[in-house]
Amino acid sequence: MALAIAVPLARVLFLLTSRTQPEGVGALVAATILRGSVILVMALWFARLSEHEHALQRHVERLEGLLPICSFCKSIRTQAGDWEPLETYISERSEAQFSHGFCPPCGRKHYKEQYGDVA
């Protein structure tokens, strides 16, 4: 953005201080200001695109890759070496929320009196 301002200003100053001023200096100054404005808009646009790209990259990196998970309790080992419950780990690193229930096989296993003794 600094170049978008500095280059046109330098050109205008050069045009105004040159010994042989061409005819239509006003038109040249106006064209220079217009070019600088276009460069400034493009710089702002690219800065916004870059910001958006970085945000997307951070979002993708949150839950990408292999997760060291316990085979029994399904806790996940953090980079610090601590073990966190799966729900806590994912909730803190994403926008996901959990609601708990149980599947029919687990219902039969843990609530035999309601589901009957089905193996």
Q: What is the mean pLDDT of each run of 10 residues along the chain (119 residues)?
A: 75 72 70 81 90 84 77 91 91 83 86 70
Would you tell me how many other CB atoms lie within 10 Å of the CB of residue 49? 10
The pLDDT assigned to 105 comes to: 86
> Can you read off the two tokens belonging to residue 72?
């029994």
Which residues constitute the domain of residue 45?
A: 1-17+24-62
Regarding whether 9 and 34 lie in a shared domain, the answer is: yes
Stated length of the chain: 119
Burial of residue 8, with CB atoms counted within 10 A of its CB: 0-12 exposed, 13-18 middle, 19 or more buried: buried
Regarding whether 57 and 37 lie in a shared domain, the answer is: yes
The pLDDT assigned to 75 comes to: 93
Regarding whether 85 and 36 lie in a shared domain, the answer is: no
Indicate the number of domains in the chain: 2
The pLDDT assigned to 83 comes to: 95
Regarding whether 57 and 85 lie in a shared domain, the answer is: no
